Amino acid sequence: MSKQMSHLDNIPSTPGKFKMDKSPYIHNRLRWHSSLAKLTFWSFMFLGLILIFFFRSPSSNPLPQDPSRRSLRTYNWGGPAWEKRVRSSSRIRSRNGISVLVTGAAGFVGTHVSAALKRRGDGVLGLDNFNDYYDPSLKRARQALLERSGVFIVEGDINDSALLRKLFEVVAFTHVMHLAAQAGVRYAMENPGSYVHSNIAGFVNLLEVCKSANPQPAIVWASSSSVYGLNTKVPFSERDRTDQPASLYAATKKAGEEIAHTYNHIYGLSLTGLRFFTVYGPWGRPDMAYFFFTRDILKGKSISIFEAANHGTVARDFTYIDDIVKGCLAALDTAEKSTGSGGKKKGPAQLRVFNLGNTSPVPVSDLVSILERLLKVNAKRNIMKLPRNGDVQFTHANISLAQRELGYKPSTDLQTGLKKFVRWYLSYYSGGKKAAG
Ligand X SMILES: *[C@@H]1O[C@H](CO)[C@@H](O)[C@H](O)[C@H]1NC(C)=O
Cβ 429 to ligand X shortest distance, Å: 34
Confirm or reject binding of residue 316 to ligand NAD (CB under 6 A): no
Binding at 272: pick from ligand NAD, ligand X, none (beta carbon under 5-8 Å per type) = none
Contact partner at residue 412 from ligand NAD, ligand X, none, CB < 5 to 8 Å by partner kind: none
Pick from 26, 145, 401, 436 the residue near ligand X by CB under 6 A: 401
Length of the chain counted residue by residue = 437
Catalytic option among 133, 195, 249, 408: 249
- Taking the least distance from each CB to ligand X, the nearer of 159 and 242 is 159
Residues 66-105 that bind ligand NAD (CB under 6 A): 67, 104
Per-residue burial over 145-156, b = 16 or more CB atoms within 10 Å of its CB, e = otherwise: bbeeeebbbbbb
Are 122 and 95 spatial neighbours (Cβ–Cβ below 8 Å)? no
- Amino acid (1-letter code) at residue 8: L
Q: How far is the CB of 174 from ligand X (least distance, A)?
A: 26
**Dihedral pair phi/psi, residue 406, rounded to 5°:** -115, -5
Contact (CB, 8 A) for 147 and 128: no
Residues 234-273 that bind ligand X (CB under 6 A): 235, 237
Q: How far is CA 371 from the centre of its chain?
A: 26
DSSP 191-258: -HHHHIIIIIIIHHHHHHHHHHSSSPPEEEEEEEGGGGTT---SSB-TTS-----SSHHHHHHHHHHH
Of the candidate spans 53-61, 169-177, 395-403, 407-415, the one that interacts with ligand X by CB under 6 A turns out to be 395-403
Measured at the CA of 183, the angle between CA 177 and CA 189, to 5 degrees, comes to 150
52 binds, among ligand X, ligand NAD, none (CB under 5 to 8 A by kind): none
195 among known catalytic residues: no
b (16+ CB within 10 A) / e for 222-234? bbbbbbbbebeee
C-alpha neighbours within 13 Å on the C-beta side of residue 257: 24
Give the three-state DSSP class for 410. Answer: coil
| Contact of residue 237 among ligand X, ligand NAD, none (CB under 5-8 Å per partner type) | ligand X
Choose among ligand NAD, ligand X, none what residue 122 binds, the Cβ cut-off being 5 to 8 Å by kind.
none
247 binds, among ligand X, ligand NAD, none (CB under 5 to 8 A by kind): none
Closest to 249 measured CA to CA, from 351, 133, 358 = 133
Query: Number of residues in contact with ligand NAD, rule: CB under 6 A?
Result: 28
- Here's the x/- map for ligand X, 314-353, by CB under 6 A: it reads as ----------------------------------------
Instruction: Tell me how far apart the alpha carbons of residues 154 and 86 are, in angstroms, rounded to a whole number.
Output: 8
Q: Please say which residue, 183 or 414, places its beta carbon nearer to ligand NAD.
A: 183
The residue within the footprint of ligand X, chosen from 197, 211, 345, 396 (CB under 6 A), is: 197
Site for ligand X in 50-89 (CB under 6 A): 68, 71
179 binds ligand NAD (CB under 6 A): yes
Contact between 212 and ligand NAD by CB under 6 A: the answer reads no
Say how far apart CA 117 and CA 252 lie, in whole Å.
28
Closest CA to 371 of 412, 413, 411, 415: 415
Given the rule CB under 6 A, which residues bind ligand X? Answer: 68, 71, 159, 196-197, 201, 235, 237, 398, 400-401
Residues acting as catalytic residues: 249
Given the rule CB under 6 A, which residues bind ligand NAD? Answer: 67, 104, 106-110, 128-131, 139, 157-159, 179-183, 198, 202, 222, 224, 276, 278-279, 285
